[in-house]
Amino acid sequence: MKHCQLSGLCQAIGVVWSGEDKIITGLNTLDEATPSHVSFFNHEKHSAQLQKTQAAGVLIEARYAHLLPPHTAPLIADEPYLKLALASKLFRHTVTTKSQAPKIGVDCDIDPSVRFGCGVVIGDRVTILAGCYIGDDAVIGPDTMLYANVTLYHQTHIGARCIIHSGTVIGSDGYGFAQTKAGEHVKIYQNGNVIIENDVEIGANCAIDRGVFGATVIAQGSKLDNLVHIAHNCKVGAYALLTSQVGLAGSTTTGRNVVMGGQSGAAGHLHIGDFSTIAAKSGVTKSLKGYQTYAGFPAVEHRLWLKIQAKLSSLAKK
């Protein structure tokens, strides 16, 4: 695990700081940060989380610093989100070409062309076909099948009895950038991981991004069709069915047994309730209650959508 002194972090990214020096092991959200984490605050809607955070320090504008709890140091910055991007680089995973024999369970069938990083752990009766890459510290549970040319980035965790089809990439960087005042884009390094729980099947050519902090999660029993994209820090609930070309933007979550039709999608930081069905090509722009069917853009309750379509059709005939 990478770590640094709080004083060194502040010096590296150019922020004002004073107080007790501490060892910092990473970055995290306000509500999930521990006393060894640094967090950030850039919107008043998170004020309640700010006052309860356990973070060692928070990147924050001076005008909000008085809201911090006594144990949290204000790290004063005019652009906290930009400073977060700069800080994320300090904790990034070091990518190398080093390879090490993995720890392999019994009765596995692994093609000789498979390439491993360091610290890989593979359970019993795992099958991995030609051309796969398994990154550093990845874990694959028993009875899991990886078809040809699957890529697992570092620290990806795959559960038991999973099936992952060819061309899928799990653990690639989420799409995160901070913008300077000049309009330049600064990369936010994605230092979380991906957790695929037991009995999940993932189709061909899917992309599941790692978390910025924490994990992107595909919960037990979910089934993803081909060409599905799950962005950073999403949490797909148990037994979801996501069909071809579904896309979830960052930090969106779903309840259990959610069904999403082809080419439907959701904006970020939303929640789709249990047993919801999203019709094909629908666009979810706000959180939705469970146990209903939704359609259209923006997605609304299906019966309302049918009424709207009927009205539009009658207007077109006049």
Catalytic residues: 232
Nearest to 190 by CA among 167, 166, 165, 208: 208
Cα 280 to chain center, whole Å?
23
Pair 59, 77: CB distance under 8 Å: yes
The SS3 assignment for 40 reads strand
Which runs of consecutive H residues, i.e. helices, occur in the chain? 6-13, 47-52, 80-88, 302-317
The SS3 assignment for 164 reads strand
Nearest to 194 by CA among 186, 202, 184: 202
Say how far apart CA 134 and CA 128 lie, in whole Å. Answer: 10
Cα 121 to chain center, whole Å?
22
DSSP per-residue string spanning 236-250: EPTT-EE-TT-EE-T
What is the token pair recorded at 112?
């000789």
Residues 6+ apart with CB under 8 A from 60: 40, 41, 50, 68, 74, 75, 76, 77, 80
